[in-house]
Amino acid sequence: MADRYRRSRELYERACRSLAGGVSSEFRRFSQPVPLFYERAAGARLWDVDGNEYLDFTLSQGPLLLGHSHAEVLRAVAEATERGQLFAGQYQAELELAEAICGLVPCAELVRFSLSGSEAVHAALRLARAYTGRQRWLRFEGHYHGWFDEVAWSISAPSVEALGPVEAPRPVPWSEGLGPCPPLVVLPWNNEPLLREAFARWGHELAAVITEPVMCNHGCIEPQPGYLQLLRELCSQYGSLLIFDEVITGFRLGLGGAQAYYGVTPDLAVFGKALASGFPLSVLAGRREVMRLVAEGRVIHAGTMNSGQPGVAAALATLRIMQGEAIHTQLFERGRRLMQQLQEAAASLALPVRVMGPGPMFHVGFTPLAVVRDYRDTLHYDRARYAAFVQAMQERGIRLIGRGLWYISAAHTEADVEQAAQAAAEVWRAA
C-alpha cells in the first residue's frame, strides 16, 4: 500500500538531525505516525507535503479563528510591513489597538503587548505580587498557563494518585529542570467548598488566583454556575487579584472574552492566540490602579520584539473583521451543531463519548463518567482510544488536536460540519 505520509516521514527523519525532536514546540511531537510537514493553508483547510488535504479543527492550536490565510489580514500585514517591521519605538497603529481593546474588554483600562501568552502570564503574576506585596498564589490542577517555570506545575499528572489528596493537592512538576516550587496553593477547579476552605486558610497571603475561565486545556470544562462569581467575591474580600487567562477564550467567546460572556470582571487578564490570527501578539490587560505599577516602571515589562508591525496590523484587521461580520453567532451555531451531531452519532452506536464545551471550542473524549467537572475527572478519559480516533480521522482528511479539543473557525461552512460529523460516524462504525 502506498505510504500517505512518505515525504513527511523523510523530512521528519532529516529534521531530527538538526531540530531537537524534529519540532519547535513540545505539543507538535505527538502527531502520528510522524509530525506532518505542511505546505500551504487556506480557509478551513491545509495541505501536507504529500498532497493530502485536511479539514482543520486545530486552528493551529487556536489562533486561526478567521481561518487560514485570511486575505484581509495578510494584506494588512503586508501593507504595514512595507513601511517597516519593528520600530522598537511608538507608532499610531499600536495605540489604536490598545484603544480598541480597552473599548472591548471589560477589565482593560490599560494594556501592554508582548509576543506570547506565556510572557503575558509571567508579567501578570509579577504585577500581582508587586501590587499586593504578597508572594503566594493559587492555581488550579489541569489549567495551562504557558510553559514558563512558575506556572509549570500541576498542568498534568500520570494518575489521580500523583496529584495527592483532593483536599490538599501537591504541586506536580511538568518538566525536569524547573526551579524551586513557587509558594503555590493548588486546588481542583469547580469545587466551591475547597475554594472557600483555601481562602479561609491562605486568603490573606494570596497575591492572586489565576484561572482559565473555561478549562479549555483539559476537557473544555465550563465553570459551574456561580463559580467565577465566587472567585471574584473571595478575591475582593481578601485583597487578592483575580487573573483570567483568556489566551484561548479571548475574542473567541465574544469580543469581550469570557469575562463579558460570563459577566465576571477580573483585575487582570491575558490574551493571545485568536487576537492576531496567528501573528505573534499577546496582551496583558487590567485595572488602571493595578497597571499603574507597570506604567510607572515599578514593575518591569519589556521585550525587544513587543508590538511589532505584523502582530499589531494583524490584530487590528482581525478585530475589524470580527466586528464587521458578527462572526460569533456563526461560531456558536456551527460549533453546537457539530457537537450535537457527534454526540448523536456516538449515542447511536452506544459509545461512551462525551462532547462538551461552549461551541466555538469543545472537547470530545471517551469516558464512562456522566459528569466531568475538574482535571481529576478528565484522567478517566481513554486517551489511547482517542489517539486512534484522531489518526483514523486524519486518514479521512480531518485534522484534530490529540488531546480532544476541537476549534471552530469563521471559515467552517455547514458542509464542513457535515463532513466532519460523517467522518467521525464512519470511524466509530468501523471501530
Ligand X SMILES: Cc1ncc(COP(=O)(O)O)c(C=O)c1O
Residue 212 CB partners (closer than 8 Å, separation 6+): 140, 143, 144, 145, 244, 245, 248, 249
Query: What is the smallest separation between the CB atom of 258 and ligand X, expressed in angstroms?
Result: 11
Q: Report helix, strand or coil for 330.
A: helix
Residue nearest to ligand X (CB): 117
Query: What is the smallest separation between the CB atom of 372 and ligand X, expressed in angstroms?
Result: 18
Query: What is the smallest separation between the CB atom of 148 and ligand X, expressed in angstroms?
Result: 8
Q: Of the two residues 94 and 212, which places its CB atom closer to ligand X in the complex?
A: 212
Specify the pairing of strand 206-211 against strand 241-245. parallel
Query: What is the smallest separation between the CB atom of 145 and ligand X, expressed in angstroms?
Result: 5
Q: Which residue has the cell 519547535?
A: 24
Q: Tell me the sheet residues that pair with 406.
A: 362
Q: Of the two residues 248 and 424, which places its CB atom closer to ligand X in the complex?
A: 248
Q: Of the two residues 132 and 282, which places its CB atom closer to ligand X in the complex?
A: 282
Cα gap 26→14, rounded to integer Å? 18
Asked whether 359 and 339 are in contact (CB, 8 A), the reply is yes
- List the catalytic residues: 144, 245, 273
Asked whether 326 and 337 are in contact (CB, 8 A), the reply is no
Q: Of the two residues 346 and 401, which places its CB atom closer to ligand X in the complex?
A: 401
User: Given the rule CB under 6 A, which residues bind ligand X?
Assistant: 61, 116-118, 121, 144-146, 212, 217, 245, 247-248, 272
- The x, y and z cell numbers of residue 285, run together, are 490587560
Cα gap 63→72, rounded to integer Å? 16
Q: Within 13 Å, how many C-alpha atoms sit on residue 415's CB side?
A: 3
Q: Of the two residues 144 and 407, which places its CB atom closer to ligand X in the complex?
A: 144
Report, in angstroms and rounded to the nearest whole number, the Rg of the chain calculated over CA atoms: 21
Q: Residue 260 corresponds to which amino acid?
A: A
Q: Tell me the sheet residues that pair with 366.
A: 353
